[in-house]
């Protein structure tokens, strides 16, 4: 098997995060020590907004009134798809129990976390879909309190469409605060909010670093890097659609890698020839991002077989993986490392990003090799329990005592000994380890 790079990345998405870590650590420490007042200071500095931090019902109603009916219908459509898919996911987790031994029962129980903090990016764009993806899944999972946090725009507040989406998807409180200060407020339980048990949602490098630092004190969905996408295409693929899909993902950011893996040189060269014109046709800010991403981070890889294409894709473990090739069932069965898979040209990453139902909060930077994306399962703790009759516990106690002593853990052994002595007085047991 061979691979030929028709285009090779000159940069990678891995950067020195030392300065970001220093800045974020300082902000988190300041806010934890200074509470609400210090969070408001950072909000004034970075958000340049002096309105209410927690939106009132009247403010939510006023924002919703500004959202056009057509946009509301689109948000409702996306919310319904995400909600129904999340409900399907939840149905795959069940409380179960089994009789390990006669009279000794062990079980599993799925319990949603109490409080979820959902970060919804604002900035230049209104990330409506992120509100839908994060709040809806938390609601379906059964979280008792959901805070949606989004950066306000100076003088105007959170984009009305984000407010509408967060509200209909089930947010209990909507917080107008961005960046590290917003993440800190949810984590530390500022402004009367419950302390978040889990933080979810995409954000810039400062938000991502804050979540990374706080992981352990709270749960997080994942440690995210720049978004990335890979397309597998064979000679049956439409070069214009492949090129358009690559550009659609490159516009995310200057350092968002896109990769094309193919076994057809003609297709690869055709796609590469189309990219510059498609990028040039974008609006300016999108054009600048896509141009930089294509120039510095993109790769086009020519393989000699579909098996090599699949192996190459699995090595990259992309966040988004599109297959525009024949025999889609073979690819579905063969591929194993991706955040979300899009089979055939009739679907596209953009559908998953916005409205089709699967979640767009996905593992990046190769993390799809060991984890999936955001789902109802991320908000749920799978815990275990056990119950036993005295008779059923006898053999377990004997084995526990022996294993514990072999390990040198005498205290553990004695916890078994005392039960044997109480439940079976007069009986003698061999509790020495068999080394």
> Contact at 8 Å (CB) between 251 and 280?
no
CA–CA separation, 406 vs 29, rounded Å?
Answer: 45
**Could you give the 3-state DSSP secondary structure of residue 18?**
helix
CB-neighbour burial class of residue 65 (10 A; exposed 0-12, middle 13-18, buried 19+): exposed
Report the DSSP beta bridge partners of residue 34.
Answer: none
H-state helical runs in 148-264 = 160-169, 179-188, 205-214, 239-250
Rounded alpha-carbon distances, angstroms, from residue 352 to 120, 312, 322, 348, 398: 17, 23, 11, 7, 54
The tokens for 343 are 């089979």
The tokens for 406 are 């072999």
CA–CA separation, 302 vs 174, rounded Å?
Answer: 48
Neighbours of 71 (CB within 10 A): 15
The tokens for 424 are 């079976």
CA–CA separation, 205 vs 356, rounded Å?
Answer: 27
Q: For the residues of 267-324, what is the DSSP string, one character each?
A: HHHHHHHHHHHHHHTS-HHHHHHHHHHHHHT-EEEEESSHHHHHHHHHHH--SEEEEE
Helix, strand, coil % (nearest 5) of the chain? 50, 20, 35
**Known catalytic residues?**
319-320
Taking only Cα atoms into account, the Rg of the chain, rounded to an integer number of angstroms, comes to: 26
Give a three-class secondary structure readout of 332-351: HHHCCCCCEEEECCCCCHHH
> Contact at 8 Å (CB) between 100 and 106?
yes
């Amino acid at each position: 098997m061979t691979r030929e790079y028709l285009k090779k990345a000159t940069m990678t998405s891995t950067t020195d995060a030392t300065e970001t870590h220093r800045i974020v650590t300082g902000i988190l420490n300041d806010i934890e020590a200074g509470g609400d007042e210090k969070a408001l200071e950072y909000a004034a500095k970075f958000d340049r907004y002096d309105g209410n931090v927690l939106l009132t019902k009247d403010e939510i109603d006023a924002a919703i009134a500004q959202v056009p009916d057509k946009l509301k219908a689109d948000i409702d459509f996306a919310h319904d798809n995400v909600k129904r898919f999340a409900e399907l996911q939840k149905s795959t987790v069940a409380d179960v129990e089994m009789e390990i031994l006669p009279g000794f029962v062990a079980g599993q129980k799925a319990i949603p976390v109490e409080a979820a903090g959902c970060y919804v990016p604002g900035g230049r764009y209104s990330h409506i879909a992120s509100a839908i993806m994060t709040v809806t899944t938390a609601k379906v999972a059964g979280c008792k309190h959901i805070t949606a946090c989004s950066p306000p725009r100076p003088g105007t507040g959170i984009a009305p469409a984000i407010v509408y989406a967060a509200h209909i998807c089930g947010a209990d409180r909507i917080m107008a605060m961005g960046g590290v200060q917003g993440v800190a407020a949810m984590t530390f339980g500022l402004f009367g909010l419950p302390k978040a048990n889990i933080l979810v949602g995409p954000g810039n490098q400062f938000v991502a670093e804050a979540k990374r630092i706080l992981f352990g004190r709270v749960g997080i969905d994942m440690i995210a890097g720049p978004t990335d996408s890979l397309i597998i295409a064979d000679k049956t693929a439409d070069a214009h659609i492949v090129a358009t899909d690559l550009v659609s993902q490159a516009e995310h950011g200057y350092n968002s890698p896109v990769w094309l893996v193919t076994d057809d040189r003609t297709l690869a060269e055709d796609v590469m020839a189309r990219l510059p014109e498609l990028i040039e046709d974008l609006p300016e800010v999108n054009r600048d991002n896509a141009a930089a991403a294509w120039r510095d981070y993109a790769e086009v890889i020519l393989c000699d077989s579909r098996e090599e294409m699949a192996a190459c894709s699995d090595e990259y473990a992309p966040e988004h993986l599109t297959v525009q090739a024949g025999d889609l069932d073979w690819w579905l069965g063969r591929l194993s490392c991706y955040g979300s898979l899009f089979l055939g040209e009739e679907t596209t990453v953009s559908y998953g990003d916005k409205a089709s139902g699967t979640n767009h909060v996905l593992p990046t930077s190769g993390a799809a090799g060991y984890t999936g994306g955001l789902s109802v399962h991320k908000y749920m703790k799978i815990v275990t329990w056990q119950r036993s009759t005295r008779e059923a516990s006898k053999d377990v106690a004997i084995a526990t005592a022996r294993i514990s002593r072999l390990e040198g853990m005498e205290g553990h052994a004695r916890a078994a000994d005392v039960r044997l002595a109480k439940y079976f007085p007069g009986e003698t047991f061999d509790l020495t380890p068999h080394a």
